[in-house]
Amino acid sequence: MAYHSNYWSCSKFANWLRGSTKPEALSSAEWKEWRKESFNKHPIRYWLAEDGLDHLQNFLTWPLKKLNDIRYYINNRFIIRSHALTSHPKDCKRGEYNGLSYRILPCLFNELVNFVEVENAWYHIAWDTEASKKYMPPFWARGRFKLSVWRCPDAGIENLNWQANLVYNEDWGFSPNDPAYGKPTEQAIQAREVLALYHWWKEIYPNRPDPHDASGWSNYCSVISAGSTDYLSMIEDRNDEDRVASRAILDRSNEIELAYEKEDEEMMIRLIKIRHALTT
C-alpha cells in the first residue's frame, strides 16, 4: 500500500462513486458500522471507491513515488542523517579521538536537542497556521528538495510549552466529576520532562564550574607555583601542612567530579525512560 498526501478514495468523486459520504472522523466502532452499511448498500460501488481507486492511484503515481523514495533517501542519508547518533563539534571535536564512554552523553543529548529544535519545530509549524507564519523556514530548508536542516529552538520550545499545559478536560472526554479532570495529561508530563532535560543540557551542563576551579585546586596551584619555574622542585619543597591542605583540596575536586558523573548518569537514565515520547 503506497502512502499519499491525498487519497482518491477520500475525494468527492469517491463519495459520488460509492453512493455514500465518507465521514472525516469516527471511532473504531463507528467506522466498522459505516463500512458495513456502505458495503451492504452498494457492494460494487463500495469496492470501486475504496479499493479500485486505491489500486488505480498506486499504479498511476508509482513513478512519482519512486522519485519521492530517492528524495527521502538522500534527505535521510546526507541531510537529516536519521541513521546515526551525532554530536556537536563543540562536544566532540572533529579529528580528535573520543572514547565511547565519553561519546554516549553528548551524542544522546545532542540528538535530544535536534528533536526539540528540528523535529518538534517542524511539527509545530505543520499543525499551527499562526506558528507557520511566525516561523517560516527559508526556501532552501523546505519543500520537496530542501538543501539543509531547518533549526528553530523557539518553535520547538513553544510547542513543548503548549503540550506541557494540556490537561484532561471535556476535549478528552472527561467531566468535572472525573478524578483526573484538570490534571496534566500523559503528553503534558512527557513534554515537561523533555523540556527539563533540554534545559539541563543547554543551560546547566555547560555552565557547571570546573571541578579544579570549584574546589580551589586551580587557585592553590597558581599560588604555590608563583615565581617557580621547576614544578618538581616546588613539590619537593612543600611541608606537611601544604601536603594536608593540597590533599583536602584534591579530595574536594574528586567529590565534585563524582557528583557530576552521577548527575550525568541520572540524566541519561531519565532520557532513556522517555525515549518513546521522542516522536512527532
**Per-residue model confidence (pLDDT) at position 229:** 44
Q: How far apart are CA 59 and CA 4, in angstroms?
A: 12
User: Does residue 244 surpass a pLDDT of 60?
Assistant: yes
Residue 95 binned pLDDT confidence (cut-offs 50, 70, 90): confident
What is the rounded radius of gyration, in angstroms, for the C-alpha atoms of the chain? 29
Range of lowest pLDDT (26-35, 93-102, 135-144, 202-211) = 135-144
Percent of the chain predicted with pLDDT > 90:
55
Closest by CA to 191, choosing from 202, 180, 199, is: 199
The four Cα atoms 191, 196, 199, 203 give a dihedral, to 10 degrees, of: 180
Measured in whole angstroms, how far is the alpha carbon of residue 279 from the centre of its chain? 7
Arithmetic mean of pLDDT over the chain: 87
Angular region, 56: left φ>0, alpha ψ -120 to 50, beta rest: alpha
pLDDT tens track for 26-52: 888 889 999 999 999 999 999 999 999
pLDDT tens-digit readout, 51-82: 999 999 999 998 888 887 777 677 667 666 67
75 or 244: whose pLDDT is higher? 244
pLDDT at 173 over 80: yes
The phi, psi pair for 177, rounded to 5°, reads -85, -15
d(CA 50, CA 11): 11
pTM over 0.95: no
Of residues 189, 115, 127, 106, the one with CA closest to residue 152: 115
Mean pLDDT within 264-278? 96
Across the chain, which distance is largest between two alpha carbons, in Å?
101
Over residues 136-172, the pLDDT tens digits come to: 887 766 766 666 788 999 999 999 999 999 999 988 8
pLDDT of residue 98: 87
At residue 37, the pLDDT reads: 94
Torsion, Cα of 114, 115, 119, 125 (10° steps): -100
Q: By the 8 A CB rule, do 82 and 19 touch? A: no
| Domain chopping of the chain, boundaries | 8-77, 97-207, 210-280
What is the pLDDT at residue 146? 65
pLDDT score of 231 more than 50? no
